[in-house]
A and B are shown apart, each in its own frame.
Chain A
Amino acid sequence: MKKIFSPLAVLIICLAVLAACSTMNNSFQLPNNHPSPDDLGEQPKVCTNCHDARGDIPFERFVHGPTWGENHRQAAYQGERVCALCHQTSFCNDCHATRVELKPSLRHQTDNVRRMPHRGDYLSRHRIDGRVDPTSCFRCHGNPKAAATCVTCHG
């Protein structure tokens, strides 16, 4: 069946619309980087100590509570620009990458406070976690390259 739109045509139209709209200057602007602890004189602890919980940016959503490591997915998808104030993509790549050989808890063995996934003997536990909820594995190991570590045993 003949396609009405080719992906390229759609892309060009979208690019043109975005380029035209991007000449406006009426939206809220975030800085490139969050001030460093040296600039602030202290290590930032909780976003809402300084920022409005629901201002131009709803900073309450980005407070790194004790379960943040397990629950930050959607906040990151909707607020990537806020994440980028403090974290470069390399930080995300510790866990989310197409191919990394060292699991995050091993690469950062002494950063035990971060409660990184797969700490300790996860090789044994992954058999059980995988049976109980394989969707949790799929998010990070769900393409041929990211699954390279699975293929050795799972074929």
Chain B
Amino acid sequence: MKVRFCVARGLLLAVLALLALPMNSAAVELRVQSDTLLRIFERDTTSGTDKLVSPGYEYLQVDMGSLSEAGLSFHAYGWGRYDFADNDFYQAADAGELLYGYLEYKRENANLNVRLGRQYIFEGVANESVDGLRLSSDLSENISASIYAGQPVGLDSTSGRSGDSIYGGRVALHKMSLGEVGLSYKNIQNDSDTAEEMAGVDIALYLPKGINFFGNSSYNLDSNGFAEHSYELNIPYESLRFRPFFQMFNYADYFSTGANSVNPFRVLGTGDEEINIYGIDLSWLQSEAWTFVGKFKYYDYDQADGNQYYGLAATWHPGEATDLGGEVGYLNGDLSKNTYLLTRLFATVDQLGDKLWLDFLTGDIVYASYDQDIYGEDYSLFVSLGTGKTFLDGRLRVKLSGDYSQDPYFDDDLRGLLSLTYNYDHGL
């Protein structure tokens, strides 16, 4: 029996099951958010140099049904773009994508959750967009489970959708004061060939003295090898937080995911490289206003020489209205071409309505210095300034920003962005 037919029949059964569920009598609630963006910049295109490009984007989100209580609801979110200049910068002047659109049923009993339609699955080894069905529920006080099946959206542009399927699930044992252990599985078929088959375990342990241990491992059942181990400790000590961590990725098992693999990763999956990353984050919440962060990462490879990353950051947040921050990062590569210094300063001053017509001002400077030239340049400079104002009792927010870049790819590049965000809700 073809998997595609199985999935289609499963979806049909799911629709019937969903329709049979008891409906909540609460009034229908509606929430709409519209983000309209207009960009403007210049690029060299097939029709000439320094041609104006002016794409307009619409991001639309609709949520309706029982939103503030358990019950039945519908959720959709997507974007579309049209290039008003239409001068061959894009392959086509228009583009777009439905990112999700699903019916959801929530019941308070056992945290039952049923979703049908295009949705994102974030759990265990799954980080996928799926056209299909997901069901999750508690099985007992300490055990919960979820399963999903459908077609993977990420493969719908690869030889059509014939023979494409995805299914999987996760079972978790949890005792909230002690921790959680989850086992997960994912199988993706592309044109009836295995594109990816992974199993994973994820662990959270809450230890004495506020120390936490988190981690996950994933095993590639297609190539029979561990693709990833990622584990970390979170250790609090007064106003300090230490986060030592370890990660391992085996390229052949991590990137070699059958038909799901694409360049430039497909090439990496054919090698024998393995990367081990050791590191520590240190956060110091010095006061309500000041926060400091230190980072260190050591990249160790089976074949290549190691790289190290050092980072420092500080933020100052004296109240709701102001944020100032800066950071410095240095990647000390094994080769000159893998070495750079990154610095950044940013500022946001909000709640200016009493003093100015505008509500807020923002600024951002990012400077990167490269040890080895990239296209003859050894630095990048990015500067961004922004402002905005709200109207209609906060329902409409207008933001305007401009940025400038001088870098290996662009000389004196100026870009502008106008953004309008409109929120509407009814019955919430």
A residues near B, CB below 8 A? Answer: 6-8, 10-12, 14-15, 17-19, 21-30, 32-33, 43, 53-58, 60-61, 65-67, 71, 74-78, 80-81, 88-90, 92-93, 96-102, 106-107, 109-110, 112-113, 119-121, 123-125, 127-135, 137-139, 141-148, 150-151, 154-155
Say whether A90 contacts B61, CB under 8 Å. yes
Interface of B (DSSP majority class): strand
Q: Which of A29, A99, A137 has the most CB of B within 10 A?
A: A99
Say whether A6 contacts B147, CB under 8 Å. no
Q: How far is the CA of A154 from the CA of B75 in the complex (A)?
A: 35
Pick 16 A–B contacts, CB within 8 A, sort by A.
A7-B165, A10-B167, A18-B139, A32-B69, A56-B176, A58-B204, A66-B291, A78-B172, A88-B75, A109-B384, A120-B366, A128-B337, A129-B331, A134-B255, A143-B262, A145-B155
Interface residues of B in 83-123 (CB under 8 A from A): 95, 97, 99-100, 106-112, 119-120, 122-123
Q: How far is the CA of A131 from the CA of B325 in the complex (A)?
A: 28
Say whether A113 contacts B323, CB under 8 Å. yes
Contacts A17-B139, A25-B110 given; indicate if A132 touches B409 (C-beta within 8 A): no
B348 near A: Cβ within 8 Å? Answer: yes
Contacts A121-B409, A124-B408 given; indicate if A143 touches B154 (C-beta within 8 A): yes
Q: How far is the CA of A10 from the CA of B168 in the complex (A)?
A: 10
B residues near A, CB below 8 A? Answer: 1, 3, 6-7, 9-10, 13-14, 17, 33, 37, 57, 59, 61, 63, 67-70, 75, 77, 79, 81, 95, 97, 99-100, 106-112, 119-120, 122-124, 127, 129, 135-141, 144-145, 147, 149, 152-158, 165, 167, 169, 172, 176-177, 180, 182, 187, 202, 204, 206, 210, 212, 214-216, 228, 230, 232, 241, 243, 247, 249, 251, 254-255, 257, 260-265, 268, 275, 277, 281, 283, 285, 291, 293, 295, 299, 307, 309, 313, 315, 320, 323, 325, 331, 333, 337-340, 342, 344, 346-348, 360, 362-364, 366, 368, 370, 374, 380-382, 384, 386-388, 399, 401, 403, 405, 407-409, 417, 419
Say whether A93 contacts B77, CB under 8 Å. yes
Say whether A29 contacts B338, CB under 8 Å. no
Q: Which of A24, A29, A65, A146 contacts B140 (CB 8 A)?
A: A24
The 9 A-B pairs of least Cβ separation, nearest first, read A120-B366, A143-B154, A110-B386, A120-B382, A8-B6, A121-B380, A22-B137, A27-B138, A121-B407
